[in-house]
Structure 1
Amino acid sequence: MRRGEVRNLGPIAGTGARKGIPGIGAADLGEIVQLPSGSYVAVFGDAFGGSKVGTHPHYPSVAVPVTFDDAGCPHFDAPLTGPSGSSNPLFVPPRRARGMNTLPAGSFQVDGKTYMLVVGTNQLRPEGGSWLVEVTDDPSKGWKPVARSWRPARYAKGGQSQISGYQSRDGKVYIVADSFDRTRRVTLYQADPHTCSDRSAWRPFVRLRDGSTGWGTPRQQAVPISDTNFGELSFREVDGAAVLSGFNVRNGPDGAVEIWVSESPTEIFSTGVMTVVMQQSDPDAANFVPQNYGGYILPGSTLELLNVFGSQWNTLVGAPYNTQHMIANVKPRR
């Protein structure tokens, strides 16, 4: 692929997928996380038995086993967790989020442990707050909240109900954050591997007294590093570079999925190179996908072949509602 080239391999799950997920005809998001055993599951958000939103049964979130063929294409097996009202939901909510829709809101991996943020939503608003879960080898038993990790929607001035991060070669953990309802700009945190599940210990990237930017102290207010509000986020280290995939609310008439590549996590927007993998402005372009969102980086990606799950939801009629497999060459020119 040429530098900057983007290809859409089509729906991989949900409406229009050739194989998809057994028993699920409509699905979105699909962040792939690694279990302690080394195997992978894809965590989808709201999923439905039929081919459109609103069909029965409804899964507020669902864990699906995933494997990869020699070409790097994912293949899904039967869901490991049950729909609403079943005895084995994926996320067991804390008391203050009971009765809310529990949805995945990003992940990071540290020293072989994977943590996911979960958000309790009402009409996609994070009214039930958010909390961390530690990923286990048996999703069917439910992933329970990490003790004392719940935070109200207003925490960090409403800007930490959606996250993503990675452990860098320097050993530190770098985490980006915004709001699940797409009303905040992106902020950045640094965490120590030993205390990364304690959100009050994260060090924010702040404006210092001399006007420069740098790492502050825990509980300080982080300074936005993006110029615009974002939605879904996926922050990973790929080929030694910081790579951010995310939904930019202000790109085009109704947002776009962008990939940003930089040598440093703190410079992801200031010096990063951007590639648009899904957009809604030019219907003749290969990356045109109406009502797109998401953008989750898949394991095994390289800068020359970045694999991304993007989503589409026709909100007017409820379909298509799916996850699409995008590939892109995002390697910057030196």
Structure 2
Amino acid sequence: MNGIGIDVSKRQLDVGTTDGEILQVRNTAAGFAELEAWLKEHPADQIVLEATGGYEQRVLYLLHNAGRPVVRANALRARRLAQGMGHVAKTDRLDAYALAKMAVLMKLPAYQPLEPWQQRMREFVRARRQAMQALTVARQQQEMVGDRELRRLLQANITRLQTLVARLGKQIGEQVEQQPQLAVMKSMKGVGPALQAVLASHLPELGRISGKAIASLVGVAPMSHDSGTMRGKRSIHGGRAEIRQVLYMAAMSAMRHEPRLRDFYRSLRARGKEGKVAIVAVMRKMLVILNARVRDAESGPIPA
């Protein structure tokens, strides 16, 4: 099995094979043309790219549209594989080689592009998240200032960001309303437009795979840390952090208003589970329930 790995940065692509061949091109249209010509001479069963916050999106589209077997891999998973192979140092070329090895060792799910409405929704979700982060920084900045005039100037920036967050939230809500298939999620108390939009644009697998798999994708499935007779403390890691952030807030609301989840949380606390552990368990249960409801809605009613 032949594999190719591509390490993506804002400016360039480092392409590697398990044979040690390396290609470096710009992350531009001209670079993509050079990559496509190179790939014609280097056929592969699987091409693995590392998820890098969106910089990989254009080359993903190119490879998918060209019919290439391309996969977007989790960055943490790829890094741990590299460390397992003894690559303690981290360079773009070493990362490309590790991704090529991943392409050979693992059969990963092929990349599936989002629908146009999902792509647009994702951009709005990302813009709102970034605006909220900027708002947090702006408020912290104002708290450190005593001068009245400077505080007034900083407040103007805070007000501007608050307006932007509100407008983006309204537009996201309107986009959600235009997709009736997302309405099934609202049957659970605590699920609002923000979570609907994040799940629709960052978790297209929802309803298409098992509840256990969906929890693992998001990073809310407990991971074992056992050895011999020792049973270590379970923990979560990896997954899609942008989903967990919104899911956490939704879980806090659902624990108050959704009887099934409220009782579940209380039972965990009564059994001695820590607060954060119980909240993560609620997040996981929410996700599994939503996954089942979306699956059932998409499959339609059972014929008589």
TM-score bin, normalised by smaller chain:
under 0.3
Please give the TM-score of this superposition, normalised by the length of structure 2.
Answer: 0.23
RCO higher in 1 or 2 (8 Å CA, sep ≥ 6)?
1
More strand by percentage: 1
Q: Which has the larger radius of gyration?
A: 2
Please give the TM-score of this superposition, normalised by the length of structure 1.
Answer: 0.21
More helix by percentage: 2
